[in-house]
Structure 1
Amino acid sequence: MEKPLKTPPTYAIASVDHALRIATILQLEGALTVSQVAERLGVARSTAHRLLAMLVYRDFAAQDEDRVYHPGPVLELAAHSRSGTSRLRAVALPHMERLVNVLGESVNLAIRMRDTTRFIVSVECDQSLRVGTREGMVFPAHRTTAGLLLLADLPADELAGVYAEERYAEHPEERPDLDRLRAELTRVRRAGFALNQGQSERGVVAVGVPVRDSDGMAVAGLSVTLPEVRYDRHQLPNLVAALQRAAGVIGADLAG
């Protein structure tokens, strides 16, 4: 069995974590004010201002004449990529917040970027023992619920291209076993959901379903994450049903 990919550091440095989260949000969404940063991180405006000032100094952010912050040279992405991700996040967020209230667990939305998945928004539950925010984190696609859901939507030839041997020439150990992966993706397609028990992070269980656009294409993976000690397999049908309802509404809003 593969080892879990990520374990939170024993001694986390809050200021570094905050700065990295701001950089990620800027890269994904394109513009932020000091007030928005303070609200998203749950910190004082003065703290948000100091963090942004350091990011500007190191070229991770840039401030315009209206005192709005944008990605700096280090983070600059194509404008269409930001706008699409930003719209998806804006549409999904209120439905994700309602889902957290219903399930009492943290909820995430992730997109696929070739052979990786990137979490574009997380909503944490308020339980003392909970799975923290995944916003901005990147994992190999075949090791996450969202990644499996989005890979399962690909035609066979496109999947083969994503995992072509030449792309892993320098690190062949990172290439998944395609026969095993295809078999897993077949199970995901048939079930309509994906279950991840500790493949991405030790002690964490995630259940996810696809969010589809008006053409029926899977554009994101919506998942609920919870500590393994709180997971009961008898919960699975209810978790999947709640996720599917939320994903359906998000997809409808995207089409609208």
Structure 2
Amino acid sequence: MKNKPPYPIASVDHALHLATLLQQEGPLRVSEAADRLGVSASTAHRLLSMLVYRSYAEQRPDRSYEAGAALRPAAATRAPVALLRQVAVPHMHALMAAVQESVNLVVLAGTEARFVTTAECTQTLRVGSRAGHTLPARLTSCGKAILAAMRPADVTALYEDSSDADLVSLRRELTLVRTRGFAINNQSTEAGLVALGVAVCDSQGRPIAGVAIAMPSIRFRRDRIPGWIRALAGCAADIEHDLELR
């Protein structure tokens, strides 16, 4: 039997209850969420907006809300996410200090890229933390880097039934990623943001994550790509080395 905490935080309880309703019972409108929680419509809307921000909910075309990517099962990884984060964070901060741009760690969850953690740089104009967010893997630099390192048959299996991805175009882009040795997201997911990503692989060469440098587009310069990629590759290699020791 679970006992209610002596000092419950109502807003947290409402948010968790709402996330559970979306996951177990399906889409809800704002008015329905308000009725279920016993709160005002404005409060229900604020709660849903926060769930959307953290990828626990998504708004549908009819303005109702459904469970988001964070509530969908993640694909199994060959290294536990907690271990990945623990091993990667020191190397991510070292890379961030070297390039003075934010650094992201990403894992694949089906066809989505799930941001695990961010080493956020201190520049006034910077890319903020994306931890906890999900985006289509085919659009993100890390997602494309991970997909490019997978077996082509596995990529086909992921996307053959997808209605929002052109498999022929995706294969062509992943071939380019493999040739270059890195992937780029040039404002594909967010205006004013550019990211460069590489895969982090296990000892068998299988991708388990991706690491990326993310920057405002105003600071992106193509002549600096080789230096950024060398730094990224070094960070990925350090993460891979430390994972092998665990």
**TM beyond 0.5:** yes
2:176: which partner in 1? 187
Identity fraction in percent: 38
| 1:208-219 aligned within 5 A | 208-219=197-208
Q: How far apart in 2 are the matches of 1:213 and 1:181?
A: 24
2:83: which partner in 1? 87
* 1:55 aligns to 2:44 (yes or no): no
1:105: which partner in 2? 101
**How far did residue 56 of structure 1 move?**
4.4
SS at match of 1:129: coil
Q: How far apart in 1 are the matches of 2:194 and 2:92?
A: 18
Q: How far apart in 1 are the matches of 2:98 and 2:231?
A: 8
CA RMSD of aligned residues (A): 2.5
Aligned length: 186
Could you tell me which amino acid in structure 1 is paired with residue 209 of structure 2?
Answer: A
1:44: which partner in 2? none
Asked if 1 retains the 8 angstrom alpha-carbon contact of 2:149 and 2:206, the reply is yes
Q: How far apart in 1 are the matches of 2:124 and 2:236?
A: 27
**How far did residue 154 of structure 1 move?**
2.1
Per-residue CA deviations over 1:14-68 (Å, capped at 9, x if unaligned) read xxxxxxxxxxxxxxxxxxxxxxxxxxxxxxxxxxx997x642464479xxxxxxx
Match 1:125 to one of 121, 127, 137: 121
**How far did residue 127 of structure 1 move?**
0.4
* Structure 1 pair 50–122 and aligned structure 2 pair: CA distance change class (3 A): farther
Could you tell me which amino acid in structure 2 is paired with residue 105 of structure 1?
Answer: E
| 1:1-256 aligned within 5 A | 54-56=11-13, 58-59=15-16, 84-165=80-161, 168=162, 172=163, 174=164, 176-256=165-245
Q: Which moved more, 1:88-97 or 1:148-157?
A: 148-157
Q: How far apart in 2 are the matches of 1:76 and 1:181?
A: 24
Could you tell me which amino acid in structure 2 is paired with residue 132 of structure 1?
Answer: G
Bigger radius of gyration among the two:
2
Q: How far apart in 1 are the matches of 2:72 and 2:188?
A: 31
Could you tell me which amino acid in structure 1 is paired with residue 102 of structure 2?
Answer: S
**How far did residue 221 of structure 1 move?**
0.7
- Per the normalisation by structure 2, the TM-score is 0.70
Q: How far apart in 2 are the matches of 1:177 and 1:59?
A: 36
Per-residue CA deviations over 1:53-107 (Å, capped at 9, x if unaligned) read 642464479xxxxxxxxxxxx96979x87x8111100100011111111000000
**How far did residue 156 of structure 1 move?**
2.2
SS at match of 2:92: helix
**How far did residue 191 of structure 1 move?**
1.3
Could you tell me which amino acid in structure 1 is paired with residue 127 of structure 2?
Answer: V
Question: Gaps spanning 5+ residues in structure 2: where?
Answer: 1-6, 20-69
* Structure 1 pair 100–183 and aligned structure 2 pair: CA distance change class (3 A): same
2:41: which partner in 1? none
Could you tell me which amino acid in structure 2 is paired with residue 213 of structure 1?
Answer: D
* Structure 1 pair 75–193 and aligned structure 2 pair: CA distance change class (3 A): closer
Q: How far apart in 2 are the matches of 1:77 and 1:185?
A: 25
- Per the normalisation by structure 1, the TM-score is 0.67
Could you tell me which amino acid in structure 2 is paired with residue 232 of structure 1?
Answer: R
Could you tell me which amino acid in structure 2 is paired with residue 144 of structure 1?
Answer: T
Where relative contact order (Cα < 8 A, 6+ residues apart) is larger, the structure is: 1
